[in-house]
Structure 1
Amino acid sequence: MSTTQQLQDFVTQVRRDILRQVHQVNSGHPGGSLGCAEFFSVLYQEVMDYSTDFKMNGENEDLFFLSNGHISPVFYSVLARSGFFPVDELNTFRKIDSRLQGHPTTHEALPGIRIASGSLGQGLSVAIGAAAAKKLNNDDKLIYTLHGDGELQEGQNWEAIMYAAGNKVDNLIATVDYNKKQIDGATDDVLPLGSLKAKFEAFDWDVIELKEGNSCDAIKSALNEAKSRTGKGKPVVILMETEMGNGVDFMMGTHAWHGKAPSDEQLKTALEQNPETLGDY
């Protein structure tokens, strides 16, 4: 188990990786990636039981599925720094013939990636299938997922949410990045979501509200609480309130950095706010 400082150092380096990946090719999605740096770091450094000897079937290990695949920079950084592939491969992000495409894909056999998630709204459906397979195989490991809040405007999510509860898929922990922003503005302005807590409860899910979604300690506590609620007949969801662009002052409080790369000067400022801790790639 990592200390709080070790986790924070990991998060800070992941932020640097995100910023440098996106800046290098002048494309990508830094906002949501930065907002979820703590979540990914805790999940892979503290919570999940997995092997870096990657096998697609994932037998006898916890599995994670990223549904909002555009936040690939944070996913790639954490996978690399958790030992799935060399850290210096982050240099190839979004380049021709790279395994690290803008949205994660599996066609080049990238360790840690089990599904392509370019189209939003499909991750939960895949995760439910994996959860059902684990039950059929008497595999007691868990399935974890991450979804954007704007992504929940896609109808397929709600079919999956209804199915999971109706079929007692209770080896599943879904997390919603509840930053209340999407590429075109606030979710309330684009298409209001109403009360996500009330909606999930109406669909018969077990709901955990996480107000401090950028606190490693709070995330670890919420994920451990979620684990304790599995196996009781209901799927579990964590509504995780985060700040888009967290850790970079000029990216916070706005949706503007959802899918925009920083300039040279902006990168310099952002990196000064997140000093190197584990070594740049």
Structure 2
Amino acid sequence: MMGLWVRFPPVAPRRSKRCHACSGVFLLRSSEMGKTATRRTWRGGKRSERFLHFAKVCFIIIPKETWQDCSTAAVLNNCEKEHAMTTNEKKQLMATACKVRMGVIEGTHAAKAGHPGGSLSAADLFTYLYCKELNVDPSNPKWEDRDRFVLSKGHTAPGLYAALAQRGFFPESDLLTLRHIGSHLQGHPNMNETPGVDMSTGSLGQGVSAAAGMALAAKYQGKSCRVYTLLGDGEIQEGQVWEAFMFAHHYKLDNFCAIIDNNGLQIDGRVADVMSPYPIAEKLRAFGFRVAEIDGHDFDQLEAAFTLARGTKGCPFAIVMKTTKGKGVSYMEDQAGWHGKAPNDEEYAQAMAELKAQLAEVEGM
């Protein structure tokens, strides 16, 4: 089971004059809104209690030395019920994710080019962002106060386009024009041509840098919008990525969320063999991020991670998603060869048959 853990700073009780600082760790637990969490400590042989009140959610403190042992399941089982997705919500997300994957296959097959592998590994993330997390308006893509999403690993544009189509930014039929001359859906995102695209990307490392700049600009302008960016685990081999992370920490960009698609593969093979980025989470923590490690194909874990991201103050947040490259198409799964290759007619037919079967199974739940 992947671990999901996040350290939070102590929070002052309501109506208290000062915070009793401690080095504990707050773990989301089930409780009624506005209740008080208690920590008992021993000082000078006497027991003392510290009360920590939270306006929206209640946390319980666990020992610092054991916080990394907390599992995702423990966090999810203790999430407040009002934050948990309903069965119907999850079913809708799973169905939409299947359609996003179908859009990836249809687009790359029609283009006879593109990057299906990483698009498929991030399909659940794209779905969650555009169907639940992002504050955006398809009827007004340039709305000034919208949340921003920057696809730093820009080559997985087929997945982004499929999600944008599902959200209503443009017709699904446009996906068949991927990479065609005159199409607004080119091989890498173009903010000047494609509705819903917030940054033109493709050169690895530059997207996350632009996203960090957007987050700082929002802070300066007093805006409440949030900025999200998705990076590949091969992309984080770029030094510019870590400069952007250092920037985000320096300016305390708590409106900035970096998501790492850790599918373990890049165009030349295993990331661990080409230029290992591991341990990813520990490096992010060293750069001042709070970090959640999750299964990127589990909508409950995505929900929990983004809830924690929104509640983090004073520093940036990162989500490291363990995923499978080519997820959903049997012959593409965990195969580096499908990083940047389009399916032929026979492969297209097999992929679509598999995805349609998965969609039918979800809709029958």
TM-score after normalising by structure 1: 0.93
Q: Deviations over 1:104-161 (max 9, x none)?
A: 11233x2111211121111111111111111122111211110001001111111111
Cα distance in 2 for residues equivalent to 1:23 and 1:55 = 28
The residue that corresponds to 2:260 in the other structure is: 176
Aligned residues: CA RMSD: 1.5
1:16-45: per-residue Cα shift (whole Å, max 9, x none)?
Answer: 110111111210000000111100101110
Post-superposition offset of 1:268: 1.1
CA distance in 2, matches of 1:203, 1:185: 27
- Which residue is equivalent to 1:22? 108
Residue of structure 2 equivalent to 1:91: 176
Q: Which amino acid aligns with 1:236?
A: F
Aligned to 2:297: 214
Distance 1:167 1:91 in 2: 42
User: Does the 8 Å CA contact 2:110/2:177 hold for their aligned counterparts?
Assistant: no
State how far apart, in whole Å, the 2-side matches of 1:43 and 1:114 are.
14
Identity of matched residues, %: 41
Query: Amino acid of the residue matched to residue 209 of structure 2?
Result: S
* 2:154 paired residue among 69, 86, 99: 69
Which consecutive residues of structure 1, in runs of 5 or more, have no partner in the other structure? Answer: none
Q: Which moved more, 1:72-81 or 1:130-139?
A: 130-139
1:34 to 120, 126, 133: 120
- Cα distance in 1 for partners of 2:168, 2:334 equals 33
Task: Give the CA deviation at 1:4.
Answer: 1.5
Partner of 1:274, secondary structure, is helix
Q: Which of 184, 190, 212 is matched with 1:128 structurally?
A: 212
Q: Match of 2:308?
A: 225
Report if the CA contact (8 A) 2:113-2:342 is conserved. Answer: yes
Distance 1:238 1:252 in 2: 22
Q: Structure 1 residue 217: deviation in Å?
A: 2.2
* Bigger RCO of structures 1 and 2 (CA < 8 A, at least 6 apart): 1
Query: Gaps spanning 5+ residues in structure 2: where?
Result: 1-84, 361-365
> 1:95-244 alignment to 2 at 5 Å?
95-108=180-193, 110-210=194-294, 212-229=295-312, 232-244=313-325
Determine the structure 1 residue equivalent to 2:337.
256
Amino acid at match of 1:150: G
**TM value normalised by structure 2:** 0.72
Of structures 1 and 2, the larger Rg is shown by 2
Report the equivalent of 2:63.
none
Return the match for 1:48 from 114, 129, 134: 134
Which amino acid in structure 1 is aligned with residue 226 of structure 2? L
SS at match of 2:356: coil
Any conservation in 2 of the 1:143–1:172 contact (CA below 8 Å)?
Answer: yes
Task: State the 1:3 CA deviation.
Answer: 1.6
Give the count of matched residue pairs.
Answer: 273
Q: Distance in 2 between matches of 1:112 and 1:201?
A: 31
